[in-house]
Chains A and B, each alone.
Chain A
Amino acid sequence: MAQFLDISSWLLLSLGGVFVFIGGLGALRMPDLYTRMHAASITDAMGPVLIITGIILQAGLSLASIKLTAILLFLLVTGPTASNALASAALLAGKRTEQARPFEQGRTE
């Protein structure tokens, strides 16, 4: 049982690390502000889920697990909110994106 917990926790932590790294790489290499926000905010929601679940499996049933669950809930609630607020602020300030073209009637591609 402890072996199974260790292996699954190792798997979750590594996967979480991979997600977090992809997010960082995306934020650095994406061409435009909105694409960078997309990369950063999605991986900011997935990475903590995997990493903190991996740590909870290691911590077992204790006060630390409750605190970790609180941290996870907090990150899941505030992360997307901050991204939403940032995107709204950028949109209202007039930052346009060159990656998207406006929708026109009859355009099929």
Chain B
Amino acid sequence: MFYAVTIALIITMALALMRAVIGPSLYDRVLAVNMLGTKTVLLLAVIAFLFGRPDFLDLALAYALINFIGVLAVLEFFRSRAARNSECSGEDT
């Protein structure tokens, strides 16, 4: 029963990874990283039950908060960089 969800999650991770590689702007890539983070948390939770090791849920919780802090850090650095060079915005490849 858990296998179908795991396959769906891994396929979604592949799709998000494609968005991270293709995405024309940096914000597309940040979006893809955020999505990959939440999908990884779900994958960890599902696999922990699939393998019958429910005490591994600490990893999923740790990864959820690390993902959040990582996305906020990326956005904060964009903002401070844009504030520093005010003539060029956050536009790039």
Given the known A-B contacts A59-B49, A71-B41, A89-B27, are A64 and B54 also in contact in the complex, defined by CB atoms under 8 Å?
A: yes
Known: A68-B57, A78-B64. A33 touches B25 (CB 8 A): yes
In the A-B complex, the 9 residue pairs with the closest CB atoms: A24-B12, A17-B8, A24-B15, A64-B54, A93-B90, A78-B68, A67-B57, A17-B5, A89-B75
Task: Find residues 27-76 in chain A having any chain B CB closer than 8 Å to their own CB.
Answer: 27-28, 33, 36-37, 40, 44, 47-48, 51-52, 54-55, 58-59, 62-64, 67-68, 70-71, 74-75
Structural contact, B82 and A93, CB atoms closer than 8 A: yes
In the bound complex, CA of A48 to CA of B46 (Å) = 11
**A residues neighboring B (CB under 8 Å):** 6, 9-10, 13-14, 16-18, 20-21, 23-25, 27-28, 33, 36-37, 40, 44, 47-48, 51-52, 54-55, 58-59, 62-64, 67-68, 70-71, 74-75, 78-79, 81-83, 85-86, 89-90, 92-95
Kindly identify which residue among A14, A18, A28, A67 contacts B19, using a CB–CB cutoff of 8 Å.
Answer: A28
Instruction: Say yes or no: B57 contacts A71, CB within 8 Å.
Output: yes
- A23 and B12 contact, CB distance less than 8 A: yes
CB-CB nearest in chain B for A59: B54
Q: How extensive is the interface on chain B, given as a class? A: 35 or more
User: Which listed residue (A21, A85, A94) contacts B11, Cβ 8 A?
Assistant: A21
Interface residues of B (CB under 8 A from A): 1-2, 4-5, 7-9, 11-16, 18-19, 25, 27-28, 30-32, 34-35, 38-39, 41-42, 45-46, 49, 54-55, 57-58, 60-61, 64-65, 67-68, 71-72, 75, 78-79, 82, 89-91
